[in-house]
Amino acid sequence: MKSFFWDSNLFIYLIEQHPIYCSQVTQLRQYNKVHGDSLSTSVLTYGEVLVYPLKTQNQPLIQAYQQIFLHSDLHLIPFTPTVAEHFAGIRARSHLKPPDAFQLACAATQGVDYFVTNDQALTHQFISGIGCIISLSDLLRELDIEITD
């Protein structure tokens, strides 16, 4: 059993049915469920994914995000003093944007095995408390998950 933190882009791919990445994220989630892996993300992710649906007043999309974020086995990591301290340390040692540093701080406080993202600027980081920061496609190769369309 491993622990996974998904960056915002994976949820967008999944819920908004991205033509390339949706099937990959779906395969990863199925793998996680079969292996009893835990899935977490931050409250920031929830806020980020709601921006476009709220801007366009897309109620079905808002409800789809609410379903996965509020009514599933997804663990939402809140902004706590411990996360704030990790955030400050990451910002002090890097040139990462605040939202990226916040995401990494949340994952680090949970000690996740994998931080999964398609943001290439993040995949080159080393953050204490995170086993591996990895792109979706690299993770699928590492876990030997065959993608079916």
Query: 29-81 pLDDT, tens per residue?
Result: 999 999 999 999 999 999 999 999 999 999 999 999 999 999 999 999 999 99
Q: How many CA atoms lie within 13 A of 127 on its CB side?
A: 34
Distance CA 136, CA 73 (A): 21
pLDDT tens digits for 97-126? 999 999 999 999 999 999 999 999 898 889
* Nearest alpha-carbon partner for 108 in 121, 95, 124, 89: 89
Q: Does domain 3-142 have CATH number 3.30.360.10?
A: no
Other Cβ atoms within 10 Å of 148 Cβ, number? 7
Question: Taking the domains of the chain in order of start, what are their residue ranges?
Answer: 3-142
Taking the C-alpha atoms of residue 31 and residue 27, their distance in angstroms, rounded to an integer, is 6
Residue 149, pLDDT above cutoff 90 = no
The sign of the CA dihedral 148, 142, 91, 83 is: positive
Residue appearing with tokens 């599933």: 72
* Torsional sign, CA 34, 124, 80, 82: positive
